[in-house]
Amino acid sequence: MAEDKQPHRSRFHKAKEDAQFAKQAVSTPQTQSPAYRLAFQDTEFLLREDLRPVRFQLELLKPELMLDEAKIESMLVIYGSARIPSPDTAQAVLDAARTPEEQRIAERLAAKAKYYEEARKLARIASQVPPDKNGCRNFVVCSGGGPSIMEAANRGADDEGKESVGLNIVLPHEQAPNRYVTPDLSFQFHYFALRKMHFLLRARAVCVFPGGFGTFDETFELLTLIQTGKIQPIPIVLFSEEFWTRVVNFDALVEEGVISQRDLSLFHFVETAEDAWQIIQDFYGNVQDPN
């Protein structure tokens, strides 16, 4: 084989090549010891407490590189509950209720099934934004990768034959990404903080549906980041004014002096996907023509 003399080529073997060479090592007490493993192939080593900063860096870097390679310039992030049923499953939720309290809760959840369809419709609209002149995609749908509202978001993109992102999190109970997330854009996180960072690194707009602690956590962190000037303003749209004003007394926060009146302009209430998209259009101009 002719020697490669091109000056721009590294003269060292690539890590993948050395990893293959390491597999071929002669079996001896020394080569069988964990100490002999290549550091980047030593899972026990990487999981040590001392290596937490390295794991942070890896969890930040892996999705960032893969999203760059997929030419995803920006994302439409959709937050929302993992418990709201789809219209097709709403009746099953009602039928499963056994006590008056369970019935009342089931009725409240079933009444929100319409937002599954609105999330799906919004994702369909966003997925119609064409690539820019460089082939980069904007407003790519991104969800937490789970069921319910998150599933609806990824499903809407799938309806249009377009890719969507799912940012899943490892939890003690068994769970998996919903089946509509694009497999090559389905990421799993150990650290909540890194997951939340990836939601916002490319977020060009965030649409929030009714949800619980996780939805509140993600939404109010975003509001805080904009309120404090840590990030530039982006459209934040809250679906169901009736839900949000019932569970959070925003006016009382103003009256108590802990936020200002202008902070209420950081977000908008809507009921429909079309209204949400119009707010995004008004903020950015004609996003259907990114060129």
Total number of residues shown for the chain: 291
The mean pLDDT value for 104-129 works out to 97
The model's confidence at residue 7, banded by pLDDT at 50, 70 and 90, is: low
The two three-digit tokens of residue 149, written as one number: 């509202």
Tokens 């977000």: give the residue.
267
Is 240 found in the same domain as 108? yes
9 lies in some domain: no
Please check whether residue 108 lies inside any domain of the structure. Answer: yes
Domain contains 192: yes
- Statement to judge: residues 144 and 210 lie in one domain: yes
Spatial CA neighbour of 124 closest among 90, 150, 161? 161
Amino acid sitting at position 281: Q
pLDDT band at 12; cut points 50, 70, 90: confident
**Which of 18, 41, 69 is the endpoint of a domain?**
69
58 and 123 together in one domain: no
Contacts 24+ apart (CB under 8 A), 221-227: 221/196, 223/263, 223/266, 223/267, 225/200, 226/266, 227/259, 227/263, 227/266
Residue 167 sits in the same domain as residue 257:
yes
Residue 188 belongs to some domain of the structure: yes
Q: Are residues 173 and 200 in the same domain?
A: yes
**Residues 238 and 127 grouped into a single domain:** yes
**Residue 48 shares a structural domain with residue 158:** no
Give the CA-trace dihedral at 138, 166, 267, 87, to 10 degrees.
110
In this structure, of 138-142, 161-165, 170-174, the range with the lowest mean pLDDT score is 170-174
Which range marks the domain in which residue 180 is found? 72-284
Can you give the pLDDT at residue 1? 47
Considering 69, 95, 128, which residue would you say is the last residue of a domain?
69
Residues 183 and 119 in one domain: yes
171 in any annotated domain: yes
**How many whole angstroms from its chain centre is CA 45?**
29
pTM for the predicted model, two decimal places: 0.90
Of the listed ranges 10-24, 42-56, 122-136, 172-186, the one predicted with least confidence: 10-24
Asked whether residue 36 falls in the same domain as residue 77, the answer is no
- 40 & 109 share domain: no
Residues 244-271 pLDDT 10s: 999 999 999 999 999 999 999 999 999 9
Domain identity same for 130 and 39: no
**Angstrom distance (rounded) from CA 55 to CA 58:** 5
Residue 167 falls within a domain, yes or no? yes
Question: Is 290 inside a domain boundary?
Answer: no
Domains held by the chain: number: 2
On whether both 95 and 55 belong to a single domain, the answer is: no
Q: Which two tokens stand for residue 122?
A: 């919004």
Rg (CA), the chain: 23
Say which CATH number the domain at 225 has.
3.40.50.450
169 within some domain: yes
Annotate 35-102 with DSSP letters as a single string. GGS-GGG-HHHHTSGGGHHHHHHHHHHHHHHHHHHTTB--EEEEE--SSPPPTTTHHHHHHH--SHHH
* pLDDT greater than 80 at residue 115: yes
Q: Is 284 helix (H, G, I), strand (E, B) or coil?
A: helix
Calpha distance 114→120 (Å, rounded): 10
